[in-house]
Chain A
Amino acid sequence: MTMRRFLQGNIACAEGAIAAGCRFFAGYPITPSTEVAEHMAERLPKMGGTFIQMEDEIASIAAVIGASWTGKRAMTATSGPGLSLMMENIGYAAMTETPCVIVDIQRGGPSTGQPTMASQGDMLQARFGSHGDYSIIALSPSGVQEMYEMTVHAFNMADRYRIPVFLMADEIVGHMREPMEVPDSVLIIQRRLLEEEGRKPFEPREDLVPDFPLFGHGHFVHVTGLTHDERGYPSTSNPEVHERLVKRLVQKVEGARREIAMFDVVNPDAEVVFVSYGAPSRSVQQVLHDFPGEGFGHLRLKTPWPFPEWAPGRFENAKTFIFPELNMGQMARELERHVDQPVISVPKLGGALHSPEELAKVAMEER
């Protein structure tokens, strides 16, 4: 059973988090993400959860990571300037394999930029923003329904792979209001807990993910951002320990790309193929709707990271890929690495969405 509701994207995100069992939120006010925090502040205390407004975004993600070690599903929400501040502890979460969800309602940057206008300018920062090598998952919703569903999914993926998972939304999707179906219940995939006697706290299973040793349950685990061995003990001068750890942090995600990556394929026989994620997908869908006879294709990336490099190959006749983004071509650059055909990046800066007409014009020229 579902219930039809008319919701704002940011509210749908908060409701999705609560449905997923999120009971800890730490954040700092920042446009255009603030509705997520406000809604969590209203809802969580009634559900026995914890909301706290921290002194900055550095502290917000830190509190989220601390809460996660007690077993709580924990989340923060921010926008570009806040994400920049979080990068230090996002690296800590990756290194310590702490499940957490980071919602980024993207706005125009760099710096303070355009607080109330949409952008997709944080796509590379989300993937590579903290120092050192690691991998994350990023989900990109293109409507209110997906703000809800992908937030739920983000928690499942964070627990499954013990990583930070990003919900890479933007001001348009965050502030959009549209009808959506709220399900009675959602699929929950909990983190695998350490229960086996004698098993080391950072000893990976076959899927390269270690079982999670909850704080307060007698594991006496030492968690450190230093390079550590499988006991969790610092081991900072042994090159093999470092190489094994960092390769595993990357490989546990990249090796599971086929299980993780989600995308939609429309008109796989098309020669001219749009590639999109997030809000610009709505303009592309309008183009396909307005020009049904042109046979344009559409590859919609629901998980920009890890990038599904095999997905473009689903369009066997593709001659050109057209990639509209609300940035200077951050993901188009990634696509170019994986295809032989030309990739036409269609950047759009300033906050407005590409109009279907301007996208159709580009596509007609490529036909």
Chain B
Amino acid sequence: MNFLEWYRVDRLPSIFCAGCGIGTVINCTLSAVTSMGWRRNDVVFLSGIGCSSRAPGYIRTDSLHTTHGRALAFATGVKLAEPRLNVILFTGDGDLAAIGGNHFIHACRRNIDLTVVCVNNYIYGMTGGQGSPTTPVGARSSTTPYGSTETPFDLSELAMAAGANYVSRWTPYHTKELTAAVKAGLETPGLSFIEVMTQCPTGYGRANRLRDVKEFMEIFRMRSMLKQKADRLLKEGKPVPPDAIVIGEFVRRSRPVMGRRG
């Protein structure tokens, strides 16, 4: 499907580094959006601050590039004031889980009718590669030079526990599944959370010997484990490898929703 008219081609080239996964995430998201049959007039993109939050600046719809961590609060205002608009957010692990953590859990609790696409690249990319709430234990960054010692957040589990109606996790290696997941999120009333574990060869890769995108893709291919399999292992009392990336649909349900769909 061609969705070139959805891009602000006059803003290209983008600021994203060579090998960045955000372009893949934007493509999958726009593919899902256009498959809904929505016009550009029906959609508003929002974002906070960080690499992923620059995505709406390249999409030719109305868009609100807001303050760090606050996009979900702005989106709550947009959606409740004009429910006919389909509201989609791009965010990242730092934006959503650190400075925006409170807004995140409350948006999930309210189960407001928004779709959140989170580019989780384990790092603060825009500021040059600092540790984030999802940096794995032992991973290096410019603020964890001896390896991170903090336990990271599992954002999909967090969204599910906080009440989101739809939660799934994929990687840029799984473009078809990711596109289908975003579409499922757009179709599901309530808060939909799609987490995309994404390569950052510049910020994360440099500090962790992963500058080669092919290696990153190989990790996404080899270490990804479907949620069903992980659940089965747990049920059988077998361990899930600690470096496994559990992917798939975490939940799809119909808790009461705030903000009706247009």
Contact = CB atoms under 8 A, between A and B. Distances in A.
A70 B70 contact: no
Interface residues of A, number: 41
B153 interface: no
B85 interface: yes
Interface in A33-82: 50, 52, 54-56, 58-60, 62-72, 74
A184 to B, nearest CB: 27
A291 B81 CA distance: 53
Contacts of A63: 73-74, 76-77, 80
Interface stretch (B61-69, B173-181, B210-218): B61-69
A26 B77 contact: yes
A223 B64 CA distance: 5
Given A89-B70, A215-B62, A67 B11 contact: no
A66 B62 contact: no
A365 to B, nearest CB: 50
A90 to B, nearest CB: 10
B56 interface: yes
B75 interface: yes
Interface in B43-71: 44, 46, 56-57, 60-67, 70
B63 A222 contact: yes
B67 A24 contact: no
B77 A66 contact: yes
B4 to A, nearest CB: 14
Nearest to B110: A52
Nearest to A49: B81
Interface in B142-199: none
B84 A72 contact: no
A362 interface: no
B78 interface: yes
17 contacts: A24-B77, A54-B76, A55-B103, A58-B70, A62-B66, A66-B64, A66-B76, A70-B82, A88-B67, A215-B44, A216-B82, A216-B85, A217-B41, A222-B8, A222-B56, A233-B57, A234-B65
